[in-house]
Amino acid sequence: MPKVYMLLHFWYPEEGYKSVKCIGVFDAMKEVERHITFLRSQPGFCESPDGFYLKEFDLNQIVMDEGSLQI
């Protein structure tokens, strides 16, 4: 079954605040890796270079469980 990869970035710049960015959805891991490599040095990402989170999904499948998106 074909896969897609959702790339997110989490950053906690100060207590009580969380920044979550959805970077994009990609069809290949090599594209995810290429974008992470680029973004790690960019403003908004370089402050938390290990904040990237990747979620793999099967294409054309429901990804909800009890009303919530499973990320």
Q: What is the pLDDT of residues 32-64, one digit of tens each?
A: 999 999 999 999 899 899 999 999 999 888 877
pLDDT score at 12: 84
pLDDT score at 22: 94
| Residue 44 vs residues 18, 20, 21, 40: alpha-carbon distances, Å | 12, 11, 10, 9
pLDDT score at 15: 82
Confidence of residue 9 (pLDDT cuts 50, 70, 90): very high
pLDDT score at 19: 85
Q: 3-state DSSP call for residue 39? A: helix
Domain layout of the chain by residue ranges = 3-69
